[in-house]
Amino acid sequence: MKKQDLITYLNEYLKINDFKDSSKNGLQVDNSKKEIKKIGYSVDASTYIFEKAKQEDVDMVLCHHGMYWWFEEALVWVPYERAQKLINNDIALYACHLPLDAHEEVGNNIGLLKGFLNIFWLSSSPTISANVWIYENYTIEKFWTRHENEIWFALKFENKVHISSLQTLFSDTLQLQKKLYNFWNLDFINSVAFVSWWWWSGIKEAKEKWFDLFITWEAAHHEIMWAKELWQSIMLCWHRETEKIWPKLLAYHLRDKFDLEIVFLDEKY
């Protein structure tokens, strides 16, 4: 596929211009190739990811956490090594941050939510009204706004799920690390808020909206203490694990739509 056509498609499909973000979303490092045949996808942009990209002979790396954010970084030390590996091996880098957290088809949070649905029941065609998707036995809604964009999702459902299933069936199927704090002392749940980010003010909103469980990635000690004081049950699934979903979903989308070869550049440490 022509590189410029792919970049144009990604920019429009991911709606990167609709988001205010600390990340410089889009093509962050160019290469000399006119055609993109093979994409390596990952969560992060790092020297060891780029070394794997070289070994896999990819034309472009697609990642969630890119090299450039709200500040311009000098190309010295690690930033220089990252750029050097890309340029010397003629590999392009495309990064997308908040637009992929929010995306309604291939995003991190909708991926977590759809994984939950697929594990516990079959979905059906929804009725959509004011950012709420109403199904036969469950409802999906947008959960929180950041930089004027609604990004995260929440789920309410009729059939209750035993909370132990979240640590076994759900987490193991999606290959998530997990630590459950059942501060609400519930045996069964029928509502979950999904936040693949470090957004701990969301604990208060989750409690106010009576979500049985708040799923996010990491927490400091004082944040867990706050959740306990609020009697808000939480499950920590860690940053990389909750945000490895969208690169895979997006890569599959590009593979199927444009017949591109894809490979996962794993960074498990």
48 and 151 assigned to the same domain: no
Domain count, the chain: 2
Determine the straight-line distance between the first and last CA of the chain, rounded to whole angstroms.
Answer: 33
Q: What is the pLDDT of residue 143?
A: 72
How does pLDDT run across 106-125, given as a tens digit for each residue? Answer: 987 788 888 888 777 645 55
Domain contains 269:
no
- How far is the C-alpha of 74 from the C-alpha of 91, rounded, in Å? 20
User: Is 231 in a helix, a strand, or coil?
Assistant: coil
11 and 61 assigned to the same domain: yes
Q: At 174, give phi and psi (nearest 5°).
A: -90, 5
How does pLDDT run across 233-263, given as a tens digit for each residue? Answer: 998 887 777 777 778 889 999 999 999 999 9
**Amino acid, res. 117:** L
- How far is the C-alpha of 116 from the C-alpha of 248, rounded, in Å? 17
Which is more confidently placed, 152 or 41?
41
Residue showing tokens 């992929």: 100
- How far is the C-alpha of 225 from the C-alpha of 174, rounded, in Å? 27
Tokens standing for 216? 């996010």
What confidence category does residue 34 fall into, taking pLDDT thresholds of 50, 70 and 90? very high
What confidence category does residue 135 fall into, taking pLDDT thresholds of 50, 70 and 90? confident
90 and 211 assigned to the same domain: no
Q: What is the mean pLDDT of the chain?
A: 86
Q: What is the pLDDT of residue 256?
A: 96
Domain contains 118:
yes
**Cβ(47)–Cβ(82) below 8 Å:** yes
Domain range holding 57?
Answer: 3-96+245-264
Cβ neighbours of 81 (radius 10 Å): 14
Domain contains 176:
yes
